[in-house]
Amino acid sequence: MSKISSETLFFAGIFLALPGVLLALRFLWRKPQWWMIVTLIIVVGWAACLLSVITHFDDLYQRVEATDTPSPELLDQAFSDGGPLVFAALFGWLIALAYAAPWFVLFWMATWLRNLVRRFRRADD
């Protein structure tokens, strides 16, 4: 099993946390605007996805170079980077939007629940 570098985990963490943080800000303070949220998810999510793939394969290359006789599994992992890198470069934005979709559903459910509670409180007054 291969170790994952801290840089890869950092970029993966940004990718995973970004929609939740942006939508929590929108839920609590009604800022940033929707166009800003979607743009940030697309741009920052794409960059984080691409950088996590790049740092992962860079770490694998460094392990191959540091080993005198690398195992065939390590060589296969290190030099099969074409597909994942191209996919992350071309479709990382789509991965970010697909990952953000359940966060949008949770946001709209929380907003609906908040509005429902407000209506019940107004009805009681």
Tens digit of each residue's pLDDT (9 = 90 or more) over 37-90: 999 999 999 999 999 999 999 998 998 999 999 998 988 888 887 899 999 999
Answer for the pair 17, 103: CB distance below 8 angstroms, yes or no. no
* Residue found under tokens 């691409």: 50
Which pLDDT does position 82 carry in this prediction? 80
What distance, in Å, lies between the first and last C-alpha atoms of the chain?
Answer: 61
Mean pLDDT of the chain: 93
pLDDT at 28 over 70: yes
Which pLDDT does position 94 carry in this prediction? 98
